[in-house]
Chain A
Amino acid sequence: MERTYASKRSLALRRDIVLSTPAVTAIACGVLAPLVLMLLLSFVGRDGRPSGENYKLLFEAFYLTGLWTTFEVAFLVTAICALLGYPLSYYLSRLPAQFAAAALLLVLLPFWTSVLVRTYAWLVLLQRHGVVNEALLSLGLIESPLPLVNNLAGTTIGMVHVLLPYFVLPLYANMRSIPDIYWHAASTCGATPGQAFWTVYLPLTLPGLFAGLTLVFTLSLGFYITPAILGGGKLMMWANYVEFALTAYPHWGAASAIGVALLLVTLILAGLLQLTFRLSRRQKTQASGV
């Protein structure tokens, strides 16, 4: 039998499809199917018939407060991650390769530890008679224990701890790829270190910075465990509301609608993230042409 180029191509394609089907099916079943089900159920009302009543729930005061809280916390967490993460990434990117690798390990170790375990660690640290308060009391810095947990403060600290690596890693990659020579070039053009930073370095790190910010913000919106444990019942975020709605109403449509709303916002932000990656790739090809 003569193997034509076309038949070889289709053979290869068939083989590709066979190889990729199991993995694609797994993801379809594990992630896509439940989301599609949620979308469908969100349009099913209390009586089992199609309706948009579930989405009306989102406008009740209870849920609007939740929406506000979620965005508030996400903004706060993202801002703190940026403030703490930018200097750290810069420092790491200026380290010689071996030391940077070792320091990165320190960033990766918490990254790969379970969220639950890390949140528990903060619970232990921030309690009224926990490690932090006891230390501050024994040092005489405070007179009575600070309320560091079961509120916004504790939740924010816990979330920053979990999300900081997500901010540092893309930014570090970006910073690492900026050649040192740009600093020299800027100073030979007469710029002070401060000017060099603002006009040359910072703009070059914008893709990584934006990627980190968007990633952290998107992930913050969907957080569940940390607010559940460190929020003390007072601080509920969107994902906690989805769980609440699952059992508070006789039908699953309500929880589905709230979930779909969260999903929509997440997907839009993820789309923004994709845009930044494309921007950074374009910037890299432009830069390499210099």
Chain B
Amino acid sequence: MHPAPVTAIVTWLAFAIPATASETITYAGAGGTFQAKLVEALLTPAVKLHQAELIQTSFRDVLPALKLEVQSGKPAWDIVQTGADSCASASRAGLLEPIDYKVVRTDGLPKEAYARDWVSPNYYSFVLAWRNDIFPQGPNNWADFFDVKRFKGPRALAAFPQGMLEVALLADGVEPANLYPIDVDRALNKIRTIKNEISVWWATGAQSAQLLKDGEVDMMAIWGSRVEAAVQSGAPVSFTFDHSIINYNCFAIPKGSAHKELAMRVIAATLTPEIQANIPKLLPYYGPTNKEAYRVGLSAEVVEKAKPFRDMQGQAIPMDVQFWAEHLEGIVPRYRAMIAE
């Protein structure tokens, strides 16, 4: 058989056969059980409403990955999910499409839950978690986390500074009210005191949960939903809401996305009370931003499970999204340099 026609046919076959038929939405999140649950709670019903197909993907570090997608001119993502601090930074860097608020309704949402380029479906918190088979009494607050003499063992912190600097300052005795603007030098120096005990600087939420589950580290600062997943899977892990840092989650659309309009409609659907009501059901350590969600008939069991999270909201310390929007770019190299020392 002559190679030229064979090559031509194979090449044509490879390129011509379309991969999917209906319109698709590519959703990029932080991966792991959290992404699976969030998608199940919010995205799947929303996408089904609009008869589209959902493709999932995940990233390690959201801002560099988002930047690459947008810079490529052909972003593979239509909806990106991350923390509001990152959305604010991305917005500032011009990486996001403005949200069309004629399509996306904000009834029932507090005003901190949306901005020009992003909107929040839920909030979550950074907590202190530890292996209770190693520390049955457990470290009880951030000061304990930084006390390597009393609580010996490998720890993990995130490879990004948001939340970590706040935790360091709290351990150093700073009052929550005086946390912002963050004294970066003070926070970095505090982290340096325990640097030898930090065996991993985790990059993704999924990785953080895995580290705790595997026992790769004995304690860490971790997102509430991740630690819940670890506990659910039977790992000997405990955590505390004491002085936890609370932040908003966000959905945004990368600039240049091919399915912008559909993405807007899907996001709008995730904010409706009916779909928001899935959050207390599937993600009890999360809070839906739409207060109307609680008016939709929820079973007593679900309300009970969501109670600890609703209660602690009063004591939790909100992350200053604006601070990070302005200073993230300057702080990241310093944080990374500290890690590499």
Is chain B in direct contact with chain A in the complex (CB below 8 A)?
A: yes
- Asked if A147 contacts B199 (CB within 8 A), the reply is yes
- Of the candidates A127, A147, A234, A244, the one having the most CB atoms from chain B within 10 angstroms of its own CB is A234
In angstroms, Cα B202 to Cα A62, docked, is 20
In angstroms, Cα B340 to Cα A232, docked, is 11
| Residue from the list A127, A232, A247 in contact with B214, Cβ < 8 A | A127
- Asked if B201 contacts A233 (CB within 8 A), the reply is yes
- Asked if A128 contacts B215 (CB within 8 A), the reply is yes
Nearest CB in chain A to that of B215: its residue? A129
Give the residues from 191 to 234 in chain B that come closer than 8 angstroms, CB to CB, to chain A.
199-203, 214-216
Which residues of chain B come closer than 8 Å to A233, judged between CB atoms?
159, 200-203, 339
Give the residues from 311 to 340 in chain B that come closer than 8 angstroms, CB to CB, to chain A.
332-333, 336-337, 339-340
In angstroms, Cα B93 to Cα A250, docked, is 9
In angstroms, Cα B339 to Cα A232, docked, is 11
Nearest CB in chain B to that of A65: its residue? B340
In angstroms, Cα B154 to Cα A147, docked, is 10
- Asked if A150 contacts B200 (CB within 8 A), the reply is yes
Which residues of chain B come closer than 8 Å to A66, judged between CB atoms?
340
- Asked if A61 contacts B337 (CB within 8 A), the reply is yes
Which residues of chain A come closer than 8 Å to B339, judged between CB atoms?
233-234
Interface of B is mostly: helix
Number of A-B contacts (CB under 8 A): 47
Which residues of chain B come closer than 8 Å to A250, judged between CB atoms?
93
Known: A62-B337, A147-B199, A150-B199. A129 touches B216 (CB 8 A): yes
**B109 at interface (Cβ–Cβ under 8 A)?**
no
- Asked if A234 contacts B201 (CB within 8 A), the reply is yes
Question: What string of 1s and 0s marks CB contacts (under 8 Å) between B158-172 and chain A?
Answer: 010000000000000
In angstroms, Cα B334 to Cα A62, docked, is 9
**A246 at interface (Cβ–Cβ under 8 A)?**
yes
- The interface-forming segment of B12-20, B60-68, B238-246 is B60-68
Which residues of chain B come closer than 8 Å to A236, judged between CB atoms?
340
- Asked if A234 contacts B340 (CB within 8 A), the reply is yes
- Asked if A248 contacts B200 (CB within 8 A), the reply is no
| Residue from the list A65, A127, A232, A247 in contact with B67, Cβ < 8 A | A247
In angstroms, Cα B341 to Cα A234, docked, is 9
Within the complex, the shortest CB–CB distance from B341 to chain A, in Å, comes to: 8
Between-chain CB contacts (< 8 Å), 19 pairs: A62-B333, A62-B337, A62-B340, A66-B340, A127-B214, A128-B215, A129-B216, A147-B154, A150-B199, A232-B200, A234-B201, A234-B340, A247-B63, A247-B64, A247-B65, A247-B67, A247-B68, A248-B64, A248-B333
Binding site for A on B (CB under 8 A): 63-65, 67-68, 93, 154, 159, 199-203, 214-216, 332-333, 336-337, 339-340
